[in-house]
Chains A and B, each alone.
Chain A
Amino acid sequence: MSNDTALAAQEPKTLKTDTLFVNLGPQHPSTHGVLRVGLTIDGEMITKAVPDIGYLHRGTQKLAEVRGYHHCVVLTDRWDYVSAMPNNLVFCLAAEKLMGLKVPPRADALRVVMCELNRLASHLLFFGTYGIDIGAFTPFLYAFREREMILDLFEMVCGARLTYNYIRLGGVMVDVTPEWLAKTKEFLDYFKPRLDEYDTLLSFNPIFMARTQEVGLISAEKAVNWGLSGPNLRGSGVNYDVRKNDPYSGYEHYDFDVPLGKTGSCWDRYYCRVQEMRQSVRILEQALAMLPHGEVSATGVAKVPKPPSGESYAHVEGSRGDLGIFLVSDGQASPYRMHVKAPSFLNLAILQEILVGNKVSDVIAILGSVDIVLGEVDR
């Protein structure tokens, strides 16, 4: 060390070097939206990284204060627009707690089905775009081929492909048809072998592993301290999944595992997601096999609900992590206060620490492995 500093002291006499400031974003193919990271680089080495967010801030927390509860469900679609079902669900859970609504069992099961399908779609998007970040273009199209089928299923059930507004206060919008269930089973049968194909194509590719395995390490303590959640936290080996930790919508009835990583590297985070897809398929098969009969919406949901004054907090395991809603009602038709605890927002914050000391190429690998959606970061 002392040798290095002595060398560094001599350096200006021989060769003057300087750091370079590079704007990664807001328009950059690999920032997955409008994120700007101010990078100070020394050669190819990052010495300082400052994420700059807010380009997509739409103030939904403020907008919710002048909209009715039914309207707020529409706002939730726009946070994490690649997996909108858990967003719908978490708002409905919080509002139902305030109103004291009891959701019928079939609606609960349908909510689980939709959230897991959406988790598949979201993780497929991650799988594809992460391949592109690392330089493999082909997995992207394979992932989109499968994601397209899921979006078709959503379109069949609720008419929308991205912003569903399907999970409503007290239940879901409409019941699914037998044709839809058959189509979903057909998709699952088709999808299961594809996961093995992905492993051969990308997960265990030597170049891919070399790019991601020793990069972006997050220890378990650091991950908890920075408040990470979802696959980012589980990639570091912390067993925290809201579906197990604080079950909702009847997740306690399904048999599934929580895949954990070991070292908290980019590859661990990546592979956690791939494993989670297998678990989602498991949950989906169970949910479709024992889908209860009955109503899909609670009776007595008011057109303009005015829940009694009180405060509630609900959180779900969204595709990106622990998505929470803190909802305050003062007895009016609009929420008095809505606070969104967005997982991407907290997952992104750790970048300023783990990017330092990595190469420029690794920035993309780490940023991709954290899997943010800027709509949710900025809300």
Chain B
Amino acid sequence: MTASGSEPSQTPLASAAPAPKPAAKPAAKPAAKPLPEPVFNQRAGRLIRDTRYWPTELWKDPWASQSYRRGAAWLAGIILGIFATGWAVGELAPWGDRIYEAIVSFVSARGWPAVVGEAIWIVIKALIVLHVILINGLWAIWWERKISAHIQSRVGPTYAGGFHGWAQTILDGIKLLLKEDVTPTAADKWVHALAPAIVVVPVIIAFAPVSFGVELSAANLDVGVLYIFALAGISVIGIVMAGWASGNKYSLLGGLRASAQLVSYELPRAFSVVPVLMFAGSLNLQIIAQAQSGYWWGVVPRWFLFYPVVGQVAFAIFLIASIAETNRTPFDIPEAESELVSGFHTEYSGMKWSIFFLAEYGYVLLASFLLAAFFLGGGAAPLPWLSAIPSWIWMLSKALFMMFVFLWVRWTFPRFRADQLMDFNWKFLLPWSFANIALAGAYLLWI
């Protein structure tokens, strides 16, 4: 078939006297490379053993492989190194106090009003919290890719940066920055552009009272819990706006689902924390964490998670509702890839799209810190003899562990259907959170 098209230049001659064979080929080419010998069922097994390994060969004895042993050593070294660094640095709160004193003395030495010093200190704290969220975005995406890969018997990114593909997210971020920002013709331009901002701003603001350790938070609010829940509820408006403004039917469906889901799951999420607030007697995250310090019988930490029945129920409901609030599997119906083709962010590209993801991972981090503060004792060490390691290391470890739980759940479970999701919320989670409040009241009354 290809022969007919290869020699069009000859047509006038050829039509007069059709050549019997395509004899007028150019002179013999300079010694064409000989084709490799066809490997064709001659040596069975060759195709596999050269490049590919079956799990039957690979999993026979993983410890026999040197890279496996080296990886395990690296992991242990990293964990021990982090703890050693924490032990060397000590608590972070005194460092903050020293910086604050330096700023105040600097300002008073210049004779400026004291409010300037306060303003500078607030800007510094805000920038630190903002960078926690931004770096969390980089870290969490890489971590999610690695965790999901290993859950799925893959390896995930390996090339970028050299060490386990650590630079993958950074390069992806550069790519997203350079990408064309497409706004569909059917979109409502202003709302389309505004939606990512409305999604991401509340999560940044909501981090203000989050405690990163003992006495370590940007703002020590007495209504911290209420403040966080109030602000986190705003993001749903941005998601609905994104779904509506995209001018895409799938996005619209995603936005509609998101509004129903997020508003509904606010309720059990807030009510599940009420027992914790009742035990702690405060809405301040620092005081809630302090209320969990100490140990029963010198071993079992007095975390709310270990309060019989009431603690576990509250923890489970809060965890489930938090997963639903962050739109992650099994509650990812607003952005169900296989049904709605990513739902509300189908029509976003470039940085606008990545801002949605920044917000999602910000919420995951927020939920992880809240879980650690509410149920896992905040910065308290899990065992008495580990209290030499400072509180911020413990807080970070607990939050990262909860983040791992988020990833673990996401890559294990299938997705609910929209109506089943609502049933689960209104008929199961919400009644049980009410029952849990009553149980907590009974504990406080009689025990």
Contacts and interface: CB of A to CB of B under 8 A. Distances in A.
B152 A142 contact: yes
A202 B412 CA distance: 9
Given A29-B338, A361-B339, A364-B338, A44 B44 contact: no
A250 to B, nearest CB: 24
Interface string A202-224: 10010110110000000000000
B141 interface: no
B141 to A, nearest CB: 16
A158 interface: yes
A140 to B, nearest CB: 8
Interface string A174-193: 10111110010011001000
A30 interface: yes
User: Most chain-A Cβ atoms within 10 A of its Cβ — which of B40, B329, B332, B417?
Assistant: B417
Interface residues of B, number: 39
B297 interface: no
Interface stretch (A128-136, A275-283, A284-292): A128-136
B33 interface: no
B330 A207 contact: yes
A155 to B, nearest CB: 5
B353 to A, nearest CB: 17
Contacts of A148: 52
B151 interface: yes
A52 interface: no
A20 B162 CA distance: 50
Given A152-B48, A156-B48, A183-B44, A211 B338 contact: no
Given A133-B338, A137-B411, A44 B152 contact: no
Contacts of A137: 148, 152, 329, 411
A190 B58 CA distance: 12
B48 A211 contact: no
A145 B47 contact: no
User: Most chain-B Cβ atoms within 10 A of its Cβ — which of A156, A174, A186, A190?
Assistant: A156
A159 B333 contact: no
Contacts of B338: 29-30, 132-135, 364
Given A132-B338, A137-B152, A207 B414 contact: yes
Nearest to B330: A207
Contact of B44 (A20, A180, A210, A362): A180
Contacts of B148: 137-138
B190 interface: no
A176 B45 CA distance: 11
B40 A360 contact: no
A301 interface: no
B206 interface: no
- Which are the 7 A-B pairs with shortest beta-carbon distances? A135-B415, A141-B152, A179-B44, A136-B414, A177-B44, A134-B414, A135-B414
13 contacts: A30-B339, A132-B338, A134-B415, A136-B414, A137-B411, A142-B153, A180-B45, A183-B45, A187-B56, A207-B330, A210-B417, A360-B253, A361-B417
Given A186-B54, A210-B417, 6 more contacts: A141-B154, A179-B44, A187-B56, A211-B417, A359-B417, A359-B418
Interface of B: 40-41, 44-48, 52, 54-56, 148, 151-154, 249-250, 253, 329-330, 332-333, 336-341, 411-420
